[in-house]
């Protein structure tokens, strides 16, 4: 990897992503092994989690290592104890930190003061581990990446930011349709455009649903109101009217389009329940792939080798 840390999907190169996908597929097929025996992961979480916590804990266990979960009350990042101190203490005990936090700056501080790898397990800016699992799922279902059309419908949030960058790096044409005021981060879009110049990906960010969905091989949506935005719920419900992924919107895409959602879903808001229950939905394969993508990242970061020097 380009750096010791994975704070953004852009900490990876396109070649890194390709290698991690290959490793994830291999690890998924092989199951349990002991390549990270003696290694320990600290999970420092400020937000609740189902998929992220379970997938990281099992990833370490299935690779022969250990995981230690630290709840918000136990650590109190930046409140009970300065982030810099937490980073330097944990670096004396464990081999890698995965942090799920509200502010991206917390991750930056952890990475600055810890001389061990730090992984972004979700921040307000990006969710790179989710993006890796998403790209892995798309490759499994479609057999390719370059030239595919992905339509992202909804809030230009942290998942959208990482997914856009990952698509641009792997040659997937990524079209994001959001209401005015909820478009993807401009700096992230500019960075994605630079990647797209090399990969040949076509990018769009705007309010036109038809433009995003036309010929889409993948339809992706996420919640309209993320954790920490609950006070905005009523306003967002009004602003996102018409952006629900339902049968009408799905009919605008390719007939073989797969439907994705990082979960948890707010049924009846960003997506109709029947859509995520239909044969085109791959949301639970997508959720499972969090485990396999993260196993690849952990093995890469910690240099896990088995007998004979083989990954």
Which residue ranges are tagged as binding site for L-ornithine? 158, 222, 226-227
Q: How far is CA 215 from the centre of its chain?
A: 24
CB 283 within 8 A of CB 277: no
Q: Please give the C-alpha separations between residue 233 and each of 46, 224, 247, 276, 303, in angstroms, as whole numbers.
A: 21, 8, 24, 22, 44
Q: Which residues are annotated as a binding site for carbamoyl phosphate?
A: 100, 127-130, 290
Q: Per DSSP, what are the bridge partners of residue 118?
A: 97
CB 97 within 8 A of CB 90: yes
Q: Please give the C-alpha separations between residue 248 and each of 77, 224, 245, 254, in angstroms, as whole numbers.
A: 45, 19, 8, 13
The candidate with the shortest Cα–Cα distance to 126, out of 160, 98, 77, is 160
69: Cα within 13 Å, side-chain hemisphere: 13
Gap between the Cα atoms of 5 and 11, Å rounded: 7
**In 10 A of CB 87, how many CB atoms?**
23
CB 12 within 8 A of CB 162: no
Structure tokens at 236: 């967002």
Q: Which residues are annotated as a binding site?
A: 100, 127-130, 158, 222, 226-227, 290
């Amino acid at each position: 990897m380009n750096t010791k840390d994975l704070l953004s999907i852009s900490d990876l190169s396109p070649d890194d992503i390709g290698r991690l996908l290959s490793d994830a597929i291999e690890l998924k097929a092989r199951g349990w092994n002991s390549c990270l025996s003696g290694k320990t992961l600290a999970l420092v979480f400020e937000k609740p989690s189902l998929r992220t916590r379970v997938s990281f804990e099992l990833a370490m266990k299935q690779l022969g290592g250990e995981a230690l979960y630290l709840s918000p009350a136990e650590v109190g990042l930046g409140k009970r104890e300065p982030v810099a101190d937490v980073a330097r203490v944990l670096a004396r005990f464990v081999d890698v930190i995965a942090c799920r936090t509200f502010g991206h700056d917390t991750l930056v501080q952890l990475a600055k003061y810890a001389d061990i790898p730090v992984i972004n397990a979700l921040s307000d800016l990006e969710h790179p581990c989710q993006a890796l699992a998403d790209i892995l799922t798309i490759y499994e279902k479609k057999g390719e990446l370059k030239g595919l059309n992905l339509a992202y419908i909804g809030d230009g949030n942290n998942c959208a930011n990482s997914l856009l960058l990952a698509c641009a790096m792997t040659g997937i044409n990524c079209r994001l349709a959001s209401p005015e005021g909820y478009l993807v981060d401009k700096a992230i879009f500019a960075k994605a455009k630079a990647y797209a110049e090399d990969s040949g990906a076509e990018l769009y960010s705007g309010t036109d649903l038809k433009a995003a969905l036309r010929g889409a091989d993948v339809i992706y949506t996420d919640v309209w109101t993320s954790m920490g935005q609950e006070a905005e719920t009523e306003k967002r419900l009004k602003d996102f009217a018409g952006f629900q992924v339902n049968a009408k919107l799905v009919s605008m895409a390719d007939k073989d389009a797969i439907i994705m959602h990082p979960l948890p879903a707010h049924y009846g808001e960003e997506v109709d329940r029947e859509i995520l229950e239909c044969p085109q939905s791959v949301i639970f394969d997508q959720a499972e792939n969090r485990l396999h993508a993260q196993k690849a990242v952990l093995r890469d970061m910690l240099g896990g080798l088995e007998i004979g020097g083989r990954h």
